[in-house]
Amino acid sequence: MTSPNARESPPDSSRDDGGGPLEGLTVLDLSRVLTGPYAAMLLGDLGARVIKVERPGIGDETRGWGPPFVGTGEGRTSTYFLSVNRNKESIGLDLRDADDREVLQGLVRKADILVENFRPGVLDRLGLGHRIFQDANPRLIVVSISGFGHDGPSAQRAGYDQIIQGEAGLMSMTGPDAGQPTKVGVPIADLSAGMFGVIGALAALDERHRTGRGRVVHTSLLGSLIGMHTFQGTRWLLGKDLPEASGNSHPTVSPYGAYRCSDGELVQIAVGNQSLWNRFAPAVGIDADDPRFATNEARREHEGELDALVEAAFGTRPAQEWTDELEGVGVPTGVIRTLEDVYADPQVISQGLVADLDDPRLGPLKVPGSPIRWDDEAPGQRHRPAPLLDEHGEQLRRWATHDH
């Protein structure tokens, strides 16, 4: 997938982790805040070179989102910004300035993928629409992420994650009960739209091998959450059974959820089939053949009675004893942990899910790592830290205007 322009890259654009499957490709990141920067970072994690275009003197507004911050003085950096901008270079360009637009067009001509999350129509009004980009570079793949979609009656609405979690029905299925709709603890609409954008880009790259031409990939926060409805969506569309929030219970399987133990900790179980039920029931003192609970359908019908029995049993012993016993008989189980515990977990560390960054301003940093590993790669690969605003501007301007 090597870009024909890869040989022109400045020497210091090389990656600390030795590249990846997308090494040699160039991504132009015109996006801001979360969903687009996340998509571009994922492409960078896969080995692409990512150039982040920011407003001069201001940059991506998440540079100022905090607390928390790390560092002091000029090196003071938002942890939010750091979370989605590793493995990138930065150039400050004013898209209304003629000289800067010329630099941008030079970068467009040398890019393989462009990521943007402007509200539909904004780039066109700036004279920088998708057609302009692809006229300059017919091989360019444009990933365009909007809030509610690029056309239709709600296309011009601002796309904020929590608003769309509500509008897409996710909050109606999340929380302790139907009266308390609750958002997910991470901006799941932003993140899923970024991932769907990357999936579209990779498909378009494969198509480009056959056709020699790029295409525009559209996705949205609204579409990404509806795309993740899966069984809940078909539950309503086909079964006319309207999902609603049910706390930690499963909407179709029982017993499945969290139960408090004698030490106050919650243990979760997933009794997902009849074989697991036959192993779980004796462990908690329930007759597996009791007609009220003998089948999953019966267990769902008598779920209140079953939950009361399971809760009473779990309340007699501490969490560790229950997880040890249930894992011993093959029942999926686990505790509910804080992030403090998660990032200290030996299994998490063994999978390279804590990445080390060597930031010249902030020193050694640890951040969440990429969930993708390659068969010839040791876990814990290193990445480059998020850039300073316009940190690579001078060299990128030279590269953008270099014709050979």
pLDDT-derived band at 7 (thresholds 50, 70, 90) equals very low
Domains in the chain, CATH or no CATH each: 6-228+353-400 (3.40.50.10540), 256-260+266-335 (3.30.1540.10)
Determine the pLDDT at residue 200: 98
**Crossing angle of helices 319-328/274-283, nearest 10°?**
130
pLDDT at 18: 56
Instruction: Report how far residue 299's alpha carbon sits from residue 306's, in angstroms, rounded to the nearest whole number.
Output: 7
Work out the average pLDDT over 103-120.
97
- Spatial separation of the C-alpha atoms in residues 142 and 200, rounded to whole Å: 10
pLDDT surpasses 50 at 5 = no
pLDDT of 13: 46
H-helix segments, 88-187: 98-110, 122-125, 130-136, 161-167
Secondary element (H or E) of residue 343: none
CB 205: neighbour CB atoms within 10 A?
16
247 — alpha (psi -120 to 50), left (phi > 0) or beta?
Answer: left
At 347, is the pLDDT very low, low, confident or very high (cuts 50, 70, 90)? very high
Told to judge if 29 belongs to the known catalytic residues of this protein, a careful annotator would answer: no
Nearest to 224 by CA among 25, 38, 369: 38
As a whole number, mean pLDDT of residues 358-366 equals 88
Residue with tokens 């579409």: 223
**Percentage of the chain surpassing pLDDT 70?**
93
State the pLDDT at residue 1: 46
Catalytic residue, from 45, 60, 190, 359: name it: 190
Q: Are 146 and 119 contacting, i.e. CB atoms less than 8 angstroms apart?
A: yes
Tell me the per-residue pLDDT of 233-280, one tens digit each, with 9 for 90 and over. Answer: 999 999 999 999 989 999 999 999 999 999 999 999 999 999 999 999
Q: How confident is the model at residue 290 (pLDDT cuts 50, 70, 90)?
A: very high
What's CA 340's distance to the chain center, in Å? Answer: 20
Q: Is the peptide bond before 332 cis (omega within 30 degrees of 0)?
A: no
pLDDT tens for each residue of 303-335: 999 999 999 999 999 999 999 999 999 999 999
Determine the 3-state secondary structure of 176 from DSSP: coil
Q: Which residues contact 354 (CB under 8 A, 6 or more apart)?
A: 343, 348, 366, 367, 368, 369, 380
* Cα 352 versus chain centre, distance: 17
Alpha helices in 212-252 (DSSP H): 221-227, 231-237
Taking the alpha carbons at both ends of the chain, their separation in whole angstroms is 20
- Amino acid type, 234: T
Pairing of strands 88-92, 49-54: parallel
Bridge partners, residue 116, by sequence? 144
Helix ranges (DSSP H) in 245-390: 274-283, 296-301, 303-314, 319-328, 339-342, 346-350
- Summarised one tens digit per residue, pLDDT across range 150-159 is 999 999 999 9
For the stretch 10-22, pLDDT in tens is 544 444 445 789 9
Element (H, E) at 21: none
In angstroms, the CA 28 to CA 44 distance is: 11
Tell me the chain's radius of gyration from C-alpha atoms. Answer: 25
pLDDT at 6 over 50: no
pLDDT, averaged across the chain = 92
Which token pair is 108?
């467009």
Q: Is the pLDDT of residue 125 over 70?
A: yes
pTM: 0.91
